[in-house]
Amino acid sequence: MTGYIIRRLLQFIPVVIVATLIVYAMVFLMPGDPIRALSGDRPMSEQVQDRLREQYNLNDPFLIQYGKYMWGVFTQGDFGTTFQGRPVLDIIQQGLPVTLTLAAVAFCFQAIIGAIAGILAAVYKDSFIDRFVQVSLVVAVALPTLAIAFLLQLTFGLNLGWFPIAGTRDGMVSYILPGIVLAAVSTGIVARMLRSELIEALQSDYVRTATAKGMKRSRVVTRHGLRNSLIPVVTFLGADLATMMGGAIVVESVFNMPGLGGQVFRSIQAQENTIVVGIVTLMVLFYVVVNLLVDLLYAVLDPRIRYE
Amino acid sequence: MALVLSACGNGDDTADETDANGAENGEQAAGGGTVTVYNCEPQNLMPSNSSEVCGSWVLEQLFTGLTQVDYDTFEAGPGVATSWDSNEDQTVWTFEIGEGWTFHNGEEITAQTFVDTFNWTVDPDNAQQNNDFYDVFVGYDELVEGEAEELEGVSAVDDYTLELELNEPFSPLPMMLSYTGFYPMPQEAFDDPEAFESAPIGNGRYQMDGEWEHDVQIAVERYEDWPGEDPGLPDRIEWQIYNDIETAYLDVQAGALDILDTVPPNRLGTMEDDFGDNQALFETSSFTYMGFPLYQEEFQDVDVRHALSMAIDREEIIDNIFDGAQVPARNIIPPMLPQAREDACEHCEFDPDAAAELYEEAGGPSELTVYFNSGAGHEDWVEAVSNQWQQHLGIEDVTFQSLEFAQYLDLHDEQSVTGPFRLGWVLSYPSPQYAMEPIYTTGQSSNYTAFANDEFDDLIAQANASDPEEADDYYQQAEDILLEEMPVIPMWFQSMGVVHSDRIAHDSVTMDPRTFLRVEQLEVTEED
């Protein structure tokens, strides 16, 4: 087990190197001169432009730029600064808690609501509850995220006034609407996945045996049915938690949350290599860590799985 | 009292009265209170480096320059400088600095403060974006090229006398010095610019309250020892930073935000329904034009340019696409300036028949490529203009080149644009000089059309060398040349939609031509 974890951790190194290189290359290859665009319609004097290019190593060829950046990261923990001189680490420190909180709230919504809806639909298969759950989930999956966001903002923010429309000024309450929006699609997928897995499990021999032994229905469903249906759902939830960082780009913009998603979007537009690489690397790391955790969780769910 | 106040709107005396009044009976106060204002995330909060609205209008509250523009008369009025004078030919200027001005940290402001600030800003090692506004001063080139340590033309005669020597006569100097890039900066700014930026120490009506919380807010409170004549009305201003205007619009509707100064285009049609009396459109100097790459042969015939301009029905586009929130351009000098004339432009009137005839005679190109920058809401109207060209001029084929802004500017620098292109211009200070000289004089860096006309250049130079009354006449003659030669098709001047909550007195809401909402004049009608 320990050996397995160490091997997986060592794999992070090439993943991070390749990911940063690709991201750096993509931002680098974007056409146009970011320094030139800084001042908009109004031109900037040649000398100032030259000085800024020098300062941010923009005159160097691609690999040298990348090398200088990585050298700074590994020797001094210097993740670079924006074109305005603001350290990238500052930006990450400020944005990360917001994005993580948002992701956690969304994750709770999709895991809890998704699981409850899926179990109910499976246990009361073909009943009204099942149909109701299925229809509402189809709607949640089908509506574009932006539409859901505006709908919730208008209904619960503007008209009813129950939740703030935007920002993070009101603490945890501010995270509820964006959390629901971010979770909407996945909640539907989780519920449908769990429903079909659970229906299949409940028809299997071991469940019939357990029921025949006189076990209570609730215990049959949770201990025998659910546990065997969870592996694909956990895989999905894990992968989804990692991709949530991407969804956060839209949700953070619409709900005006100062997280990493909105930041990475603006930085790509402004061709701020250093921030994009910093944040994307963080997202990549997050993704691989979550994947590792998911793999380890399999062993808990199914003792037959062993790691060597 | 309240009646009197709302009746006289926004004058200097209003400010004084409210100030005294607001302090005594804080509850029913015009003036006082806290306003929350929409803002976008500034690029930076460094006067010498700030060239966009999001940062500049915050800095305007934190700093006071040598002069301030009076937007009723469009003249430069006293700021830190109490008076100024120039020699006969407008090349040597003397500014008397008022006594008793300090930065918010107590550092005294003298003529030397300005000398230091100007030198630091121009020093290329500091790479400040407003650097090029200083090219009027003697010694600019030497300092920028690294041949000198200081600007030769900027000197402190004594503690309260600043002398500025210019390369060329420049009568709009007092007006230009009101610009963000000329605000005085304290020693701390030079010692550690990055630390300074997070909580700029200025000499303005307001001082920072806490640090700039990136992507969240910038809060300032009134600086009670400000020696100027018209202090700000609100006790406290909080700029809430949004990255989506739509969201800010909803927040104003819900009362979570007091005022939004840039209503999103798709809401202009509904803002009256949504806000009733709490909304208004303000005309600004934000100018949109279609430029011609005069370095391409097809566009060198002035008749072709006239025909393309006359084939555009500006009103129709403005009504259908902008919900009326643009003023059709009949001039180059923005209409709110006193120097502007109505209908100065002969070839800006929609006349499809004459246009078609002219275009055919001149042998204008039958295919066009039209350029604009992407992602900034230009797609619809550029397409509409192109449709009108196709419809009225018999142009067979129009292709669009839409590029990211950075890439777009590259293309202009390389002079590889092959057709009409969209660009814009906003006045940083309200002078006809700034509306024309940077864009149309020969060899200027914003002259993307490569327009070169000696007569025009001479008129601008003459205007810059004359005292104000005569200058206006020269500026207008220069404008006439532009409207006749038409290096650019004037399209329209933008009107900005402003919406606000019930807490703000509607009469106190004003916006100046630079598109800056006058936040310091906002009156809070109710306290919550």
Task: For residues B510 and B469, state if they share a domain.
Answer: no
Does residue B183 register a pLDDT over 70? yes
Which band of pLDDT confidence, cut at 50, 70 and 90, is reported for residue B527?
A: low
Residue of B nearest to A153 (CA): B250
B 247-276 residues with CB below 8 A of A?
A: 247-248, 250-251, 253-254, 256
Task: For residues B238 and B295, state if they share a domain.
Answer: no
CB of B215 less than 8 A from some CB of A = yes
Does residue B257 register a pLDDT over 50? yes
C-alpha A246, offset from chain centre: 6
Hey, is B372 helix, strand or coil? strand
CB of A97 less than 8 A from some CB of B = no
Higher pLDDT, B70 or A215: B70
Distance of alpha carbon A54 from alpha carbon A87, whole angstroms: 17
Task: For residues B335 and B455, state if they share a domain.
Answer: yes
| Residue range A84-99, pLDDT digits in tens | 778 888 888 888 889 8
Distance of alpha carbon A204 from alpha carbon B375, whole angstroms: 55
Q: Which of A77-81, A191-195, B282-286 has the lowest mean pLDDT?
A: A77-81
Which pLDDT belongs to residue B14? 37
Q: Which residues of B touch A32 (CB under 8 A)?
A: 403-410
Which pLDDT belongs to residue A140? 81
Does residue A43 register a pLDDT over 90? no
Q: What is the ipTM of this complex?
A: 0.78
* 8 Å CB contact between B293 and B449: yes
Does some domain include residue B16?
no
Give the mean model confidence (pLDDT) for residues B149-166.
95
Distance of alpha carbon B85 from alpha carbon A256, whole angstroms: 49
Does some domain include residue B24?
no
Which pLDDT belongs to residue A308? 64
Nearest to A40 among B52, B131, B438 (CB): B52
Taking the CA of residue A295 and the nearest CA in chain B, the distance in Å comes to 37
Angle at which helix A2-29 crosses helix A273-301, to 10 degrees, equals 150
Distance of alpha carbon B226 from alpha carbon B239, whole angstroms: 21
Helix/strand/coil (H/E/C) assignment for every residue in B210-231: CCCECCCEEEEEECCCCCCCCC
CB of A125 less than 8 A from some CB of B = no
What are the residues facing B155 on neighbouring strands?
Answer: B163
Of A178, A168, A124, the closest CA to residue A146 belongs to A178
- Whichever domain contains B131, its CATH number is 3.40.190.10
Q: What is the dihedral of CA A204, A206, A211, A213, to 10 degrees?
A: 160
A258: amino acid identity, one letter? P
Which of B126, B147, B244, B446 is most worth mutating to test chain A (most A CB atoms within 10 A of its CB)?
A: B244
Task: For residues B294 and B178, state if they share a domain.
Answer: no
Distance of alpha carbon B124 from alpha carbon B328, whole angstroms: 41
Distance of alpha carbon A161 from alpha carbon B502, whole angstroms: 17
B2: amino acid identity, one letter? A
Higher pLDDT, B29 or B117: B117
Taking the CA of residue B385 and the nearest CA in chain A, the distance in Å comes to 21
Contact yes or no for B124 and A51 at CB 8 A:
yes
Residues 6+ apart with CB under 8 A from A181: A145, A148, A149, A152, A251, A254, A255
pTM of the prediction?
0.84
Give the mean model confidence (pLDDT) for residues B350-371.
94
Task: For residues B327 and B207, state if they share a domain.
Answer: no
Between CA B327 and CA B6, with CA B35 as vertex, the angle to 5 degrees is 70
Task: Indicate if the alpha-carbon torsion angle A199, A203, A206, A209 is positive or negative.
Answer: positive
Are β-strands B92-97 and B161-165 bridged in parallel, bridged antiparallel, or unpaired? antiparallel
Does some domain include residue B48?
yes
Which uninterrupted H or E stretch holds A203?
Answer: none
What are the sequence ranges of the domains in chain A? 89-268
The number of folded domains in chain B is 2
Does some domain include residue B11?
no
* 8 Å CB contact between B129 and B49: yes
Distance of alpha carbon B146 from alpha carbon B133, whole angstroms: 18
CB of A3 less than 8 A from some CB of B = no
What are the residues facing B490 on neighbouring strands?
Answer: B289
| Residue range B195-254, pLDDT digits in tens | 899 999 999 999 999 999 988 999 999 999 999 988 999 999 999 999 888 889 999 999
Give the mean model confidence (pLDDT) for residues B502-517.
94
Distance of alpha carbon B118 from alpha carbon B278, whole angstroms: 42
Task: For residues B242 and B313, state if they share a domain.
Answer: no
Q: Which of A194-208, B213-227, B451-465 has the lowest mean pLDDT?
A: A194-208
- List the domain range (segments joined by +) for residue B77: 34-253+499-521
Which band of pLDDT confidence, cut at 50, 70 and 90, is reported for residue A78?
A: confident
Give the mean model confidence (pLDDT) for residues A11-30.
82
Does some domain include residue B268?
no
Give the mean model confidence (pLDDT) for residues B382-392.
94
Does residue B165 register a pLDDT over 80? yes
Rounded to a whole number of angstroms, the distance between the first and last alpha carbons of chain A is: 6
Does residue B3 register a pLDDT over 70? no
Does some domain include residue B365?
yes
Which pLDDT belongs to residue B7? 34
The alpha helices in B344-431, defined as continuous H runs, are 352-362, 379-393, 405-413
**What is the phi-psi region of residue B409: left when phi exceeds 0, alpha when psi lies from -120 to 50, beta otherwise?**
alpha
Higher pLDDT, A134 or A299: A134
| Residue range B5-57, pLDDT digits in tens | 333 333 333 333 334 333 333 333 456 899 999 999 898 899 999 888 899 99
**What is the phi-psi region of residue A32: left when phi exceeds 0, alpha when psi lies from -120 to 50, beta otherwise?**
left
Of B338, B342, B341, the closest CA to residue B469 belongs to B338
| Residue range A162-199, pLDDT digits in tens | 888 888 778 888 898 999 888 888 888 888 888 888 88
The CATH fold of domain A89-268 = MetI-like fold (1.10.3720)
Which band of pLDDT confidence, cut at 50, 70 and 90, is reported for residue B282?
A: very high
Task: For residues B346 and B232, state if they share a domain.
Answer: no
Contact yes or no for A254 and B214 at CB 8 A:
no
Which uninterrupted H or E stretch holds A62?
Answer: helix A62-76
Which pLDDT belongs to residue B315? 95
Does some domain include residue B17?
no
Does residue A261 register a pLDDT over 60? yes
Give the mean model confidence (pLDDT) for residues B299-307.
95
A 52-91 residues with CB below 8 A of B?
A: 52, 55, 84-86, 90-91
Which uninterrupted H or E stretch holds B211?
Answer: none
Task: For residues B419 and B514, state if they share a domain.
Answer: no
CB of A147 less than 8 A from some CB of B = no
Which pLDDT belongs to residue A65? 83
Which uninterrupted H or E stretch holds A125?
Answer: none
- Whichever domain contains B331, its CATH number is 3.10.105.10
Task: For residues B485 and B506, state if they share a domain.
Answer: no
Distance of alpha carbon A294 from alpha carbon A172, whole angstroms: 27
Which band of pLDDT confidence, cut at 50, 70 and 90, is reported for residue B451?
A: very high
Does some domain include residue B265?
no
| Residue range B66-83, pLDDT digits in tens | 999 999 899 999 999 999
